[in-house]
Amino acid sequence: MARITLGIASSHTPLLTFEATQWERYAQGDLKRRLNMSDGRYITYDELLAETGGRHASVATVEQFLAKEASIKTAMDRIAADIASDPPDVMVILTDDESELFSKANMPAFSIYYADEVVTRTFGPERIGQKEPPPFFPTMLKNYAMDESRRFPAMPDFARELIERLIDKHIDVGAAHNIEDVSRSGLGHGVGFIIQRYFGGKPVPIVPVLLNTYYPPNAPKPARCYDIGKALREAIEESPRNLKVGIAASGGLSHFVVDETLDRGVLKAITTGDAHYLRNISVAALNSGSSEIRCWIAVAGVIAGLKNQWCEYFPLYRTPAGTGIGVGLGLWR
């Protein structure tokens, strides 16, 4: 019987892929974004600055960035060391897809990739509309395993078994298998970040589970995300295979405007097992980057039987107005 022995949750923001000395450069993009607020509004940077009065200027400094980078690195190293000490036989990575494997031609609400190998997509500067990429771009791509098409071990028979068991449980799951052109499609940053940052180069087989968080109109509601997680846990535990299974939530928390109240509420609910809170998070709060919180909600349904070992939270304000990301990291055994 397969056993879920490990749960991890990790943000995968670009800020975690390159040095903090470059965070200020990256933050310049916030000045041009449509910024999503947790009440469902989208506003400009100038409008956000007017609302906040620039109160985050004291923490949006290179000195603060370097201090937070050091603390986050320590926490991420802690996850990597725990995995190395007792690695799973297979890691199920539950994350979002940002037009990497899928597109508007077909965007399933929920899908499992069950090919013989995990194949990542290449990502060039043309995808961000720039002829000359910023200096941090090559490092970011390498740490997302998207600097070139990379191949990692998978567990296709187990993945297919999960698909079939989920169908039996009335979860209409998509099934992805073929990648015909890695310059146009492939697994993306949500999968690549977990592999590159936490596996230490070890060949841990992967089952990618992709949840549509970003793209209307078929992003699952929070309650459905939790139910999908519960069904996934059952499908794993019903497998006759003798496997130690790890589950990872990749993405989140609030961005591109940091919302500490939202983030801390999510983390508290996951660590205390408060399914009611998670199932009833406002959909208005889950737009744009903050939509990746859905991945944490789904994984909460998977790890309900595990004990939280630790969880840390780092609100990364990168501009005076308060743009940035809430970085969450945690581990369950």
Residues 216-270: pLDDT tens digits?
A: 999 999 999 999 999 999 999 999 999 999 999 999 999 999 999 999 999 999 9
pLDDT at 129 (0 to 100): 54
Domains of the chain, each with CATH number or no CATH: 3-332 (3.40.830.10)
pTM of the model: 0.96
Alpha helices in the chain (DSSP H): 23-27, 45-52, 62-85, 137-143, 156-168, 189-198, 222-237, 260-272, 275-279, 293-302
Q: Please, which residues bridge with residue 313 across strands?
A: 328
pLDDT at 130 (0 to 100): 60
Low-confidence ranges of the chain (pLDDT < 50): none
pLDDT at 183 (0 to 100): 81
Residue 298, C-beta contacts closer than 8 angstroms, at least 6 positions apart: 94, 211, 225, 226, 228, 229, 232, 249
pLDDT at 291 (0 to 100): 98
Parallel/antiparallel/unpaired status of strands 90-96 and 244-250: parallel
